[in-house]
Amino acid sequence: MLSGYLGGKTFGEAFGSSKPWVLALHGWARSHADFVEVLGAKEGEQALDAIAVDLPGFGASPPPEAVWGAREYAAFLEPLLDEMAERIVIVGHSFGGRVAVEFAALSGDRVAALVLSGVPLVTAGRRPRPNARYRVVRSLAAAGIVSATRLEQARERYGSRDYREARGVMRGVLVRAVAEDYRATLALLRCPVELVWGEDDTAVPVDVAREATHSLVDGRLTVLPGVDHFVPTAAPGALRAATLLHRP
């Protein structure tokens, strides 16, 4: 059942019956529903005390009024700590993991651990080059030879599926997120960080996780054979187990 949080500015679902100690943040173009199997009651096990939110611009939550990066998303969500246990574990998948990293850096000792999966933590030098035809149009637009409308048409034609499907401010959020790199923020974290990765993740290959561990004070990587990018739905038990390891 959906509940409103932060004065109705965002929505999500609560699990369990006590004060939440888990905050779950979903990936791009996904929703809190990805975490039902991770957090909900299972045979012989109770539900985890948790909140899974729809990040602004996804699911039932309205988009932000301006283009946000992961840090602005984290700052927006930080007041949720008033409704949660003294120390929490944040589970973040893909885009939600970007926000989780910034949240942990912002909130310090309130975050007991991070559990991350499929997160583009280190992106510098890894972004594929845009289509050659798009690069030509972009150069011509920069020189004032073609119009902004022509440039936008090229973006629509040659951009990623996520870019083509994003609308309004969320397109700007996507562009900003893709350009962000979290090496410096990872180095600031003092909480344990569990990296739970699908071996067959082609969106964010496991090499990204391996590289990210070099920036972590306390990081551990678990690779899941036969699992793709969507770990919360493909291997919910693995995320649940990693989360329970750090129950405050």
- Are the C-beta atoms of 45 and 15 separated by less than 8 Å? no
pLDDT of residue 94: 97
Q: Are residues 119 and 172 in the same domain?
A: no
Same domain (yes/no): 119, 173: no
pLDDT tens across 42-67, in order? Answer: 888 999 999 999 999 999 999 999 99
Q: Distance between CA atoms of 154 and 136, rounded to whole angstroms?
A: 10
Q: Where in the sequence is the domain holding 145, given as residue range(s)?
A: 127-177
Is 111 in the same domain as 70? Answer: yes
Residue at which a domain ends, from 160, 177, 194? 177
The per-residue pLDDT of the chain, averaged, comes to 89
Burial 41-61 (b: 16+ CB within 10 A, else e): eeeeeeebbbbbbbbbbbbeb
Q: Are residues 221 and 234 in the same domain?
A: yes
| CA separation for the pair 6, 66 (Å, rounded) | 18
Regarding whether 134 and 115 lie in a shared domain, the answer is no
Considering the domain architecture, whether residues 9 and 97 belong to the same structural domain is answered as yes
Q: Are residues 93 and 137 in the same domain?
A: no
- Co-location of 100 and 111 in the same domain: yes
Is 164 found in the same domain as 49? no
**CA 214 to each of CA 14, 34, 135, 185, 218: distance values in angstroms, whole numbers, following the listed order:** 34, 29, 33, 12, 10
Average pLDDT on 140-145 reads 66
Q: How far apart are the first and last CA of the chain?
A: 26
74 and 187 together in one domain: yes
Dihedral sign, Cα of residue 110, residue 113, residue 116, residue 120: positive
H helix intervals, 30-69:
36-39
> Domain check: are 150 and 66 in the same one?
no
Give the tens place of pLDDT for each residue, 71-101. 999 999 999 999 999 999 999 999 999 999 9
d(CA 167, CA 36): 27
Q: Are strands 219-224 and 88-93 parallel, antiparallel or unpaired?
A: unpaired
Structural domain ending residue among the three candidates 141, 157, 177: 177
Looking at the fold, whether 218 and 168 belong to one and the same domain comes out as no
Q: At what angle do helices 132-142 and 148-158 cross, to 10 degrees?
A: 160
CATH for 11: 3.40.50.1820
Give the pLDDT score at 135: 57
CA 192 to the chain's CA centroid:
17
pTM here is 0.88
Overall domain count for the chain: 2
